[in-house]
Structure 1
């Protein structure tokens, strides 16, 4: 019986290998039939044994005059979601998760740099688990090193207007990373034309997001009144722990809050009214390993790409609830960067009301004027509103959850245009 099972396993393995060899690769076919979408990829050793993968797409799919187009560095959330797949295929790259062309790709008229971070995520890898990032500082320092090396390798982009755009936990890292890059530029250890940042569904001030979650789910019909009352008690306890910086207790209560909110059925925290994105991400994971990975010559083909690295995620658990508000305030007061904060109105992870609360509580020289600023409509039909003052803008995006670039690309396009509008002068 054992020999029979071994024979079956060998026969199956041979068939799978044969199918893979003979099968036409739909990803490479899509690349060839759609302007080629020229791109480069590589690795940066950010620490001994810790290697970060980057994947760069040239604006409009061509190297010609690409350095005259804006450059966006995408900072994915999680922590541990792989930008090479989630940001690229699920949100703004040239192809959807089904490997068909995306009409609203950011790569039209813009260069986009995806980085798998923290180390151990996606195609990034570590020699051993002790090298995982343990803090937000570790994560931001590694990213800063990868970005520095990218611009050393691609000097033609040093004068290109460059922007950081981020999401979720990436939105929490973004202000810290931006501050590190700004400091490096001032010290002349980094040569880039750094112009601004965008933070979407940012986990910048966890306290404010957590406080609003139970009420948002209750008002939207996600949970009933009894569950709203019980979860609100847990949320308030969690916030008290955060206010006293008892992060160990806060972490325990965070797990309790999550399980409490899901007692009446699993909630899609990405979008309260949408189906779970995870079945599609599971399919993407298969396609990344079967079709995309073989096209990337620099990638060790034995690496199993996963849309979420649990090792990287768990290693940062003690940092989950630590805010990054102080870095954002420093950027507003000490730099000329344009800063856009945007949030979907169907987002459960970072409810829109919570985002509005923490943005309006920021302590910076323009805070009073920002609070008084009136909202304007985002162009298009029912896309939401935005307000602006000096270099800060806040965007209420309708019809979108946690993944604004994919769920409301029309509003996202205006946000991108706004931040990258060189005619709008920064005000000190």
Structure 2
């Protein structure tokens, strides 16, 4: 167990924290973690890893990646960290493909109530993506303002699935806070992986895609399209909560008619435990949320059995600062429920605004993802009003490889870039791109961040 160094005085009540910022870390400074009280009785948990490859020499500054998980309600501190890109896997063994080789990593359990983050009053859960962005920006102000070391490292917001909606809203909030002189950091851009940016385009992709790969027949695909059309109308009429319920029903229908296709890799069957899809709309929603961690845990083969055991056991013991009445993931279901009215809102306008402001926007997608299928991603990208879109469409893609010996290696993906828009197609990957294709993902993050360790 690492030795702990108290960096700030931590004042605790018998049950709850009352301080605004509290942080601990390892004695060598390679890790820091803590809480930021972003609003009274609302606390975000963060965990920073410093790369052993970090160098402040040379013309290119060492980057920091802020990883945001999806869900909403899925924990970046757990899933993104121990299951995808952090230095240790779910067995607490070194990960060969950790993104820490190319950048410092900052994981945040976002929004409040996710993972180790918590609220002391249920009314404090965020109800919109914009409220989540405000909390995240408050956290960044507390961490960066007054910290010259952190300010030297450009920050790249990299998010997965629903986290991409958080990424674009917080990206705009960061840009505006910097311009207003309220936040002192270098903003490198946002990366949107398998992103739930336009729910309408994704639900319309499911029927045709699954028919093409023989998981739905023509009748079922037609019904999927009919249900998607109803979702489109609900979104157009501003009935977002009803659209969320309709989305859940559509997923339940597809799971039933495809004999349990995996929404995170359409070449597989779902690895989730059996759930009765006929009972309620909530059943389908719980199934989808459950497969999020089940899929990753099956990849990790954790000896601890599941990520919850890991987080509430060894990791909680290491961190030492988790309040006694807070269990990892305890409030995550409520996070989803309170955001249900925002869940189906598109965020294409925000992507357009980022592009118009000159912010670097990277989109990457796994070839065999279903829930955020590449077909849907390509559709919403074509809805951008960005003035560079026509030129972007007219350029050719560049094939991607993991090694320099391209002739001896299969193609791992494709890249198309024009000005500040970059699109990566990652072959053979599902929803969790770094899990399925760790090598090309590592090269991708090095390119996105312009890492000095890119080679």
- Which TM-score bucket, shorter chain as reference? 0.7 to 0.9
1:71 — aligned with what? Answer: 64
1:358 — aligned with what? Answer: 380
Question: What stretches of structure 1 of length at least 5 have no aligned partner?
Answer: 1-24, 29-34, 424-428
Q: Which residue of the other structure, out of 323, 327, 351, is the alignment partner of 1:328? A: 351
Q: Which residue of the other structure, out of 302, 306, 328, is the alignment partner of 2:329? A: 306
| Alpha-carbon spacing, 1:399–1:36, altered in 2? closer, same or farther (3 Å) | farther
1:340 aligns with 2:362: yes
2:15 — aligned with what? Answer: none
The CA distance in 2 between the partners of 1:80 and 1:343, in whole Å, is 21
Cα deviations by residue, 1:276-322 (Å, 9 ceiling, x for unpaired): 35442861111111111100022224421128810111110010000
SS at 2:191 equivalent = strand
1:117 aligns with 2:110: yes
1:404 — aligned with what? Answer: 433
1:3 — aligned with what? Answer: none
Q: Which residue of the other structure, out of 211, 222, 228, is the alignment partner of 1:235? A: 228
| Alpha-carbon spacing, 1:397–1:308, altered in 2? closer, same or farther (3 Å) | farther
The CA distance in 1 between the partners of 2:120 and 2:130, in whole Å, is 20
2:320 — aligned with what? Answer: 297
Q: Which residue of the other structure, out of 162, 175, 178, is the alignment partner of 2:155? A: 162
| Alpha-carbon spacing, 1:368–1:345, altered in 2? closer, same or farther (3 Å) | same
The CA distance in 2 between the partners of 1:378 and 1:307, in whole Å, is 41
Q: Which residue of the other structure, out of 33, 37, 42, is the alignment partner of 1:41? A: 33
1:58 — aligned with what? Answer: 50
4+ residue runs of structure 1 moved beyond 4 angstroms? 61-65
Superposed displacement of residue 95, structure 1: 1.1
The CA distance in 1 between the partners of 2:264 and 2:147, in whole Å, is 35
Superposed displacement of residue 383, structure 1: 1.1
| Alpha-carbon spacing, 1:307–1:105, altered in 2? closer, same or farther (3 Å) | farther
The CA distance in 2 between the partners of 1:343 and 1:307, in whole Å, is 30
2:264 — aligned with what? Answer: 270
Decide which moves more: 404-413 or 164-173: 404-413
**Contact 1:332/1:391 (8 A) holds in 2:** yes
The CA distance in 2 between the partners of 1:387 and 1:134, in whole Å, is 35
The CA distance in 1 between the partners of 2:414 and 2:341, in whole Å, is 35
Cα deviations by residue, 1:100-143 (Å, 9 ceiling, x for unpaired): 21101011131000000110111111002111011111111111
SS at 1:329 equivalent = helix
Larger fraction in helix: 1
**Contact 1:82/1:308 (8 A) holds in 2:** no
Superposed displacement of residue 98, structure 1: 2.2
Superposed displacement of residue 410, structure 1: 2.1
CA-based RMSD? 2.5
Decide which moves more: 35-44 or 362-371: 35-44
**Contact 2:54/2:62 (8 A) holds in 1:** no
Superposed displacement of residue 229, structure 1: 2.0
Decide which moves more: 134-143 or 277-286: 277-286
Superposed displacement of residue 355, structure 1: 0.4
**Contact 2:113/2:331 (8 A) holds in 1:** no
**Contact 1:164/1:196 (8 A) holds in 2:** yes
**Contact 1:81/1:307 (8 A) holds in 2:** no
Cα deviations by residue, 1:350-392 (Å, 9 ceiling, x for unpaired): 1001101111221112111111111110123221211111110
**Contact 1:269/1:349 (8 A) holds in 2:** yes
Question: What stretches of structure 2 of length at least 5 have no aligned partner?
Answer: 4-26, 272-290, 299-304, 403-409
2:278 — aligned with what? Answer: none
The CA distance in 1 between the partners of 2:230 and 2:187, in whole Å, is 40
TM-score, normalization: structure 2?
0.81
| Alpha-carbon spacing, 1:126–1:202, altered in 2? closer, same or farther (3 Å) | same
**Contact 1:86/1:307 (8 A) holds in 2:** no
1:222 — aligned with what? Answer: 215
Q: Which residue of the other structure, out of 66, 86, 95, is the alignment partner of 1:102? A: 95
1:393 — aligned with what? Answer: 422
TM-score, normalization: structure 1?
0.86
The CA distance in 1 between the partners of 2:413 and 2:84, in whole Å, is 20
The CA distance in 2 between the partners of 1:37 and 1:284, in whole Å, is 26
SS at 2:256 equivalent = coil
